[in-house]
Amino acid sequence: GIQFDVYHMWFLYRPTTTSRAIRPSHSHSNSIQLTSPSPSIHSIKMQATLSNNVTLASKFASKSTIRAQRRSVVVRAEGKVSHGKGGEEGGATFKNDAFGMVAKNANYMLFASAVSKTGCEPIMTSPGPITVFAPNDDAMVDFIKKIGKTKMDIMEDPNLPGVIKSHIVEGTYKIADMPDGTTLTTIGGNTITISGGAVNGSKMTKNDIKVDNAILHAVNAVIEA
Other CB atoms closer than 10 Å to residue 218's CB: what's the count? 21
Would you give per-residue pLDDT tens digits along the chain (225 residues)? 444 454 455 455 555 544 444 444 444 444 434 444 455 555 545 555 555 554 544 554 455 444 544 443 333 333 332 233 444 444 568 889 999 999 999 999 999 999 999 999 999 999 989 999 999 999 999 999 999 999 999 999 999 999 999 999 999 999 999 999 999 999 999 999 999 999 999 999 999 999 999 999 999 999 986
Answer whether 85's CB lies under 8 Å from 94's CB. yes
Single-letter amino acid code for the residue at 17: T
Could you tell me which of 23, 19, 29, 18 has the C-alpha nearest to residue 8? Answer: 23
Cα(60)–Cα(216) distance, integer angstroms: 62
